[in-house]
Amino acid sequence: MKSISAKELKNQTGAVLRRVEHGEKVLITKRGTPCALVSPVEEKHLKPAGLRVYGEAWQDIEKTLKAGKPRFKTWQEAIRWTRWRG
């Protein structure tokens, strides 16, 4: 298990998360004292929190988007609308 300081985590968040994605656990220290453990999420921990795995959630998002009617025909119309409102 790798150990890094909170400052290192702040500066290297992306790299740390990539390591975690590949199964590694990372111990975070603050002033030399362990304060957190970042580890890969297990599906059994998602269900009690009401969360779903990425693929399952994304399928629902795509289904909802396909069923809906877009408010604007182009992205330019959407930009004009936001600038007019702002």
Set out the domains of the chain in order of their start, with CATH numbers: 2-38 (3.40.1620), 43-85 (no CATH)
pLDDT, tens digit, 9 for 90 and up, residues 11-55: 999 999 999 999 999 999 999 999 999 999 887 777 777 788 888
Q: Give dist(CA 54, CA 62) in Å, integer.
A: 12
Q: Give dist(CA 15, CA 18) in Å, integer.
A: 5
Q: What pLDDT score does 51 carry?
A: 80
Q: What pLDDT score does 86 carry?
A: 53
Q: Give dist(CA 22, CA 25) in Å, integer.
A: 9
Question: Looking at the whole model, is its pTM more than 0.75?
Answer: no
Confidence of residue 56 (pLDDT cuts 50, 70, 90): confident
Q: Give dist(CA 52, CA 58) in Å, integer.
A: 10
